[in-house]
């Protein structure tokens, strides 16, 4: 429903989320004419003043629309998280007169003011630093590449950024850790990549190798922290050291519940770098953020995570990568639907056919009709849910082809989960086996938290 300012104030005690849809306004500066009210009134005031104050005869001025969603706390909108990258006054002095390396991708965007954060626009960090006359020497690109257009698992090649002319060094493929030669001439490194809080999401593995390389070369690392959209919980099986891979570098649960800055502190503090070396890190922390803050990512963090729902379902549906099930790759509903040609239509009435598209040149079951489930109306999740994968295994027509054991174990971090599903354990029974490890991990995790 749409409310005027008075009505919004009257109903503010309901504590819904305010979603601002900016329209053209006679006054474009959202920070003008703001009084020193309490924070919940301050932002509401600036919304109205930005479009309603000034000359009343100005016919071009339009009221902005405020949409109320009753299910979410209004404070989560009003206290808009400010990322590390959005606070250049804190990190530009650390880079001045230095030769800088940047670890970045398409999510590395700077939004200096409230208007940019509300409207989800800004400038890429690399472009911003070049504009500010910072001496950027090299860009290091993770999985999916610098501009985030490469398929999952596809080799990322070295190259040159066509916009800035800077050399791009791939950190995905055979070269996951910067070599001494690649770090030559770098005096300080900046890491700014959006994570989604899942162990097998490879950006935290890239973080590990960057920290290790910087520690060995004596290069300080500045981490521009970003919110974790799945940071409101921890869950899932713990990674076992015998199954360590780029999909799981550390003994943490499937959903780790930390921001990238907090996670870096844990890597250092727990001595997880080679030979126990420590990286000299400085975290530019978030403002207006807690682990309960709901945060909508302004840029998709990878090609197949197109929206908030996909990101929220990813901890559960990402495990399907190691099975015969398609998780929506080859559609526009990535990680929001599941399906397979070997699921019976009477139990799985939703049907779709994966086809090559952006982020999936060769999707699983390419060109073959899949029976499955449409999960796009799933409420926001606060735990890993195995019911979909377990029920699919029970109903799958070719159980011997259901698991790709190597891939599934790499994603799960343990071989036990596959055995539990195959033996017919209930989800409740499986989850019970995680609890002791989760409790121990959470106790350790508390030492490194930067936010409530």
CA distance 85 to 117: 12
Residue 135 phi/psi, 5-degree rounding, is: -80, 80
Q: Which pLDDT score, from 0 to 100, does residue 10 have? A: 40
Task: Give the start-to-end residue ranges of the domains of the chain.
Answer: 5-78, 88-296, 308-414
88-296: which CATH topology?
A: Rossmann fold (3.40.50)
- The low-confidence residues of the chain, meaning pLDDT below 50, are 1-77, 150-155
Where do runs of H (alpha helix) occur along 242-304?
260-269
CA distance 303 to 300: 7
How many C-beta neighbours within 10 Å does residue 138 have? 20
Q: Which pLDDT score, from 0 to 100, does residue 162 have? A: 82
Measured CA to CA in angstroms, residue 264 lies from 5, 21, 269, 368, 391 at distances of 43, 35, 9, 42, 37
Measured CA to CA in angstroms, residue 113 lies from 53, 118, 122, 297 at distances of 20, 9, 9, 17
Q: Which pLDDT score, from 0 to 100, does residue 149 have? A: 55
User: Of 88, 99, 89, 102, which is closest to residue 135 (Cα–Cα)?
Assistant: 99
Q: DSSP string of 63-102?
A: PPEEEEETTS-THHHHS--B-STT-HHHHHHHHTTSEEEE
User: 162-212 pLDDT, tens per residue?
Assistant: 888 999 999 988 889 999 999 999 999 999 999 999 999 999 999 999 999
Label residue 253 exposed, middle or buried (CB < 10 Å: 0-12, 13-18, 19+): buried
Where do runs of H (alpha helix) occur along 272-386?
308-317
Query: Residue for token digits 């009753």?
Result: 70
For residues 324 and 396, the answer to whether their CB atoms sit within 8 Å is: yes
Measured CA to CA in angstroms, residue 423 lies from 161, 206, 285, 329 at distances of 51, 35, 45, 29
Q: Which pLDDT score, from 0 to 100, does residue 18 have? A: 35
For 443, the token pair is 């106790």
For 102, the token pair is 């940047």
Q: Which pLDDT score, from 0 to 100, does residue 78 have? A: 52
Write the DSSP symbol of residue 43. Answer: H
3-state class of 399 per DSSP? helix
For residues 230 and 335, the answer to whether their CB atoms sit within 8 Å is: no
Q: Which pLDDT score, from 0 to 100, does residue 119 have? A: 78
CA distance 350 to 298: 30
CA 72, chain centre distance (Å): 20
User: Of 396, 389, 397, which is closest to residue 421 (Cα–Cα)?
Assistant: 389
């Amino acid at each position: 429903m749409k409310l005027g300012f008075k009505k919004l104030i009257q109903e503010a005690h309901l504590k819904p989320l305010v979603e601002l849809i900016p329209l053209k306004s006679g006054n474009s500066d959202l920070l003008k004419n703001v009084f020193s009210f309490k924070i919940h009134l301050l932002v509401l005031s600036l919304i109205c003043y930005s479009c309603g104050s000034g000359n009343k005869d100005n016919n071009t001025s339009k009221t902005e629309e405020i949409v109320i969603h009753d299910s979410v706390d209004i404070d989560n909108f009003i206290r808009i998280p400010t990322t590390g990258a959005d606070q250049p006054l804190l990190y530009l002095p650390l880079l001045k007169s230095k030769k800088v390396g940047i670890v970045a991708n398409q999510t590395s965007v700077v939004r200096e003011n409230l208007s940019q954060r509300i409207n989800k626009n800004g400038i890429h960090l690399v472009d911003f630093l070049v504009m500010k006359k910072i001496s950027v020497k090299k860009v290091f690109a993770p999985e999916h590449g610098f501009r985030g257009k490469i398929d999952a698992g596809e080799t990322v090649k070295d190259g040159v950024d066509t916009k800035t002319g800077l050399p791009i060094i791939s950190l995905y493929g055979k070269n996951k850790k910067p070599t001494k030669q690649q770090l030559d001439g770098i005096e300080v490194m900046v890491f700014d990549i959006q994570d989604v809080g899942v162990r097998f999401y490879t950006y935290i593995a890239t973080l590990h190798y960057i920290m290790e390389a910087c520690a060995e070369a004596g290069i300080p690392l500045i981490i521009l922290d970003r919110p974790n959209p799945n940071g409101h919980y921890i869950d899932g099986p713990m990674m076992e050291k015998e199954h360590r891979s780029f999909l799981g570098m550390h003994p943490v649960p499937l959903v780790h519940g930390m921001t990238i800055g907090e996670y870096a502190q844990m890597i250092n503090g727990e001595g997880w770098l080679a030979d126990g070396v420590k990286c000299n890190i400085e975290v530019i922390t978030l403002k207006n953020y807690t682990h309960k803050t709901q945060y909508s990512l302004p840029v998709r963090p990878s090609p197949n995570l197109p929206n908030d729902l996909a990101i929220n379902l990813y901890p559960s549906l990402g495990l399907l990568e190691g099975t015969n099930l398609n998780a929506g790759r080859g559609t526009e509903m990535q990680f929001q639907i599941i399906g397979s040609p070997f699921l019976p239509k009477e139990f799985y009435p939703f049907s779709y056919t994966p086809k090559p598209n952006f982020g999936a040149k060769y999707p699983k079951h390419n060109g073959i009709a899949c029976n499955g489930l449409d999960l796009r109306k799933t409420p926001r999740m606060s735990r890993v849910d195995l019911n979909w994968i377990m029920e699919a295994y029970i109903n799958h027509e070719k159980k011997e082809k259901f698991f790709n054991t190597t891939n599934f174990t790499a994603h799960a971090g343990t071989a036990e989960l596959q055995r539990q599903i195959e033996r017919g354990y209930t989800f409740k029974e499986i989850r019970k086996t995680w609890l002791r490890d989760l409790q121990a991990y959470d106790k350790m995790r508390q030492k490194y938290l930067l936010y409530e």
